[in-house]
Structure 1
Amino acid sequence: MSEAYSYLLPSVNSAFQPIVSLAHLTPLGYEALLRSSINGRPCSPIEAFRRAALVDRTGEFERECVRCHTAQFARRADHESVLFINVQPEVLIHPVHGPGLIADILSCGIPCARLAIEVLETPLPRSQTLVDVANQLRQHGLLIALDDFGAGETNLSRVWDLRPDVVKLDRELIRQAATSHRKARSLRRLVGLLHEIGTLVAIEGVETETEALLCLDCDADFAQGYYFGRPAPLPENGELIVTGTEHLLEDFHSAERIKPIADLVALQPYREAFRDVTHAFCMGESFADIAPRFLALPLSIRMFLLDQHGAQIDRQVESTDHPMRKQSRFPMLGRRKDANWSKRPYFRDAMSHPGETVVSEPYVTSGSMNLCLTLAACVESGGVRYVLCGDVLFEELGSH
């Protein structure tokens, strides 16, 4: 760091927080976190980097932090743990400090395969330069992690661009998911989506056993947070104490899980009513006559009939007086003709499993803007195949 400006900047020290493999319930590595002070008084990382920016020394200060983290880790860590290092994208793409930072990392004495460069969340727009730097890091054998996914500017475009080895989900996601079955389901689907893209998933900010169990239920790969261990200096033996893991798997096996939609107890009366009206339709009763029987249930909102190509037949039958029914913001979606729902997963699933009742994942219906799920069944009547469908208000299902 420049001697002329070093006295203006906070001091630099390191703390390390374990990142736990949920399959092994032991640390796979540690995130290095800045611990700094000014004139002997603690200074937050945000304040430290703010001061560095005021004297136009962000790049130098970032490099000093990385040198401190890697030096302490190299001296004390075991020979398997991975070090996660936070780096601001603006420094990575800087024409001077970017190459300098990479050189510092490559010369730190830690094998590249045990170093994960954690790209921090930033409002920096999509940048080919950042993609090029990430590719360069990867060519050296370094791992790439993307921090704070789900907060601020971080989005799927950055995942696709950087192709990270690990995506770390913002702590607010697990906190919110622990309060709501609906949000927990959404978190599990997000983890599944990221897995499908081709990245491992870490959940940050885990502070309670409930949140830790939810990480397991969502099939996250790694977890990090106060529940497992607070940031601390790395001891001489290189192993920080990890808490909360002793009975976690045992508690998980006995805990209430995120149930598949089709298994929700509150949905069973709707499945039974749908099965009854489906049977009546197959026996020759008209769609107009059977639909009101399903709509008599409190959260049934509509029924509609599709042909074997997904085209809607005639008008849908709706519970128009339903107090929770929202109105579509798009008038043309109120049309009762010309709609084709072959793109919907429930139609494809029903066609693939004739005679069975399939249950969709929750989704917002375009016709009413309600969060619904659809029951569907591919059946025959008069020698013709149809797909019979019924919508249920999912957003209120849990309270009934």
Structure 2
Amino acid sequence: MLTTVPDIEEIIKNRFILTHFQPQVSLKRKAVVGLEALSRGFDPQSGEIIPPTLLFEQARDKASRLALDRACRTNAVEAFAALHRRDKSVMLSMNMDATCINEETRGSNHILNLVNRCGISPNSVIIEIIESQCDDMDALMAFVKFYRKHDFLIALDDVGAGFSNLDRIPTLKPDVIKLDRSLISNVDKHFHKIEVVRSFVQMSNRLGCLVLAEGVERAEEAMCLLSNGVDVFQGYYFARPAPGLDAVPGMASKVDALAEKHRENRTQQIADDKRLYSSYHLTVLTMCQELAESPYKDMGKNLSGFIETYDNVECLYVLDMKGNQISDTICDPTRLKTSKRFLYEPAAIGMDHSLKEYFLPIQAGLEKFTTQPYISLASGNLCTTISHVFYHKSSGRHRILCVDMSREDSCIC
């Protein structure tokens, strides 16, 4: 047990620093795509490791933090250089202490000079930054602009944790967004965490950056994230940080097993969805055929009958071709959340649906459309809405039947 820590100046001067590497794994490519360099100190007298938290706590002033940060980066780049000579496909990911990015350090070019000296291509280096730690936004933007100009990649670390400034993501336009372990832990068990992950994935797709999940400790977490658009992972489940650069025993078999399991799950899910939606469409088509032959005055009675006949139907309503509701919304009363009536209320006759997702494709010319699962404003439940055009013979007009199918039994991943 380490009881005393060597003086921080001694640690920096004599480079009493070890670099451990943790793999970053792409499951779809079944390969290690990067290595994050993680620094630890060591006591030369006892040989004991100084944990990173304890190590960096010793650097209490700006000069010490900068000197320690540079010493750690130097160790990391020098240790990675040997691997880079053998394999140019693996990236080096290393942390930059964002508190050190300010007017005083602008223009030092320390990282650029370091990688050039060690013969590493800048486009093989990812600089990780926790942007919320930087007080000088102008200096941070200049830093990012300079290193991106020289082909380095920029990653935002700990995204989704605490008070992360999300508005800076589109401003900095990072190449990689690293989702914090607090968001990833047990993500397969928490719907709200999955929704946050999906939001980051969607935003990243639009910004053209990659999402990496760190802190993955369970296969179920990796499977859930993979099914929601995340492909690159880092965490104890795959490998703990280690001083060597060699392949981690057993990791390849884990990657292969997860990739195969994902393939099986997606194949099964696609087949299940195909059967489910075929059943939905047959149900809605049957309803449309019956409504087409019925008088207008019987529409409400017919809709109520459909609720009684089909167990998975939650709500029904009919629109005209302009998106105006011309029937009452008929709902299964057992599915309505009475405790949340002030939030969720079935729409009434005359309601304008012209901007709803299930109407716009019909207006664009489709005969039918099926939405992705969403929370219904009529019931507050997870549902899928199917809209289908039918010709109502007694009125001589085309109408649109909208059917909310319950999806409450859907798994969260």
Normalized against structure 1, the TM-score is what? 0.80
**Which residue, 340, 357, 360 being the options, matches 2:352?**
340
Matches within 5 A, 1:230-379: 230-235=240-245, 241=249, 242-243=251-252, 244-255=254-265, 259=269, 263=273, 272-286=282-296, 287-296=299-308, 297-298=310-311, 300-320=313-333, 322=335, 324-329=337-342, 336=348, 339-352=351-364, 354-356=366-368, 358-379=369-390
Shift of 1:171: 3.6
Deviations 1:313-372 (A, max 9, x none): 3532333453545524459x777366422322222234456443x332222334554433
* 1-structure distance, mates of 2:306, 2:73: 63
Shift of 1:272: 4.7
Shift of 1:203: 2.5
**Closer, same or farther: CA 5–167 of 1 in aligned 2, 3 Å:** closer
* 2-structure distance, mates of 1:97, 1:172: 31
* 2-structure distance, mates of 1:209, 1:32: 23
> Are the aligned partners of 1:191 and 1:220 in contact in 2 as well (CA < 8 Å)?
yes
> Are the aligned partners of 1:22 and 1:220 in contact in 2 as well (CA < 8 Å)?
no
Shift of 1:139: 0.7
Aligned partner of residue 345 in structure 1, secondary structure:
coil
Matches within 5 A, 1:140-219: 140-154=150-164, 156-179=166-189, 187=197, 190-219=200-229
Would you say 1:28 and 2:33 are equivalent positions?
A: yes
**Which residue, 381, 394, 397 being the options, matches 2:407?**
394
Q: Which runs of 5+ in 2 are unaligned?
A: 1-5
Q: 276-285 vs 132-141, which deviates more?
A: 276-285
Larger Rg: 2
Would you say 1:384 and 2:397 are equivalent positions?
A: yes
**Closer, same or farther: CA 87–337 of 1 in aligned 2, 3 Å:** farther
* 2-structure distance, mates of 1:341, 1:208: 43
Shift of 1:17: 1.0
Aligned partner of residue 232 in structure 1, secondary structure:
coil
* 1-structure distance, mates of 2:397, 2:207: 40
**Which residue, 74, 84, 87 being the options, matches 2:93?**
84
Deviations 1:177-209 (A, max 9, x none): 434789768756753542233112222233344
Deviations 1:53-108 (A, max 9, x none): 3787333322222122112212444341211012233323x2224544x4244333
Shift of 1:15: 0.5
Q: Which residue of 1 aligns with 2:122?
A: 112
Instruction: Calculate the aligned-residue CA RMSD, in Å.
Output: 3.8
**Closer, same or farther: CA 384–158 of 1 in aligned 2, 3 Å:** farther
* 1-structure distance, mates of 2:380, 2:165: 25
> Are the aligned partners of 2:40 and 2:55 in contact in 1 as well (CA < 8 Å)?
no
Q: Which residue of 2 aligns with 1:53?
A: 60
**Closer, same or farther: CA 66–355 of 1 in aligned 2, 3 Å:** same
Shift of 1:380: 2.6
Would you say 1:44 and 2:51 are equivalent positions?
A: yes
Q: Which residue of 2 aligns with 1:130?
A: 140
> Are the aligned partners of 2:300 and 2:328 in contact in 1 as well (CA < 8 Å)?
no
| Number of residue equivalences | 391
Q: 375-384 vs 347-356, which deviates more?
A: 347-356
Q: Which residue of 2 aligns with 1:95?
A: 103
Shift of 1:114: 1.1
> Are the aligned partners of 1:326 and 1:370 in contact in 2 as well (CA < 8 Å)?
no
* 1-structure distance, mates of 2:402, 2:385: 7
Shift of 1:285: 4.5
Deviations 1:268-324 (A, max 9, x none): 766554333222222235431222133335554322222223233353233345354
Shift of 1:257: 5.6
Q: In the alignment, residue 138 of structure 1 is paired with which amino acid? A: R
Q: In the alignment, residue 96 of structure 1 is paired with which amino acid? A: E
* 2-structure distance, mates of 1:65, 1:234: 16
**Closer, same or farther: CA 122–324 of 1 in aligned 2, 3 Å:** same
Shift of 1:119: 1.7
Q: Which runs of 5+ in 1 are unaligned?
A: none
Q: In the alignment, residue 323 of structure 2 is paired with which amino acid? A: G
Aligned partner of residue 346 in structure 1, secondary structure:
coil
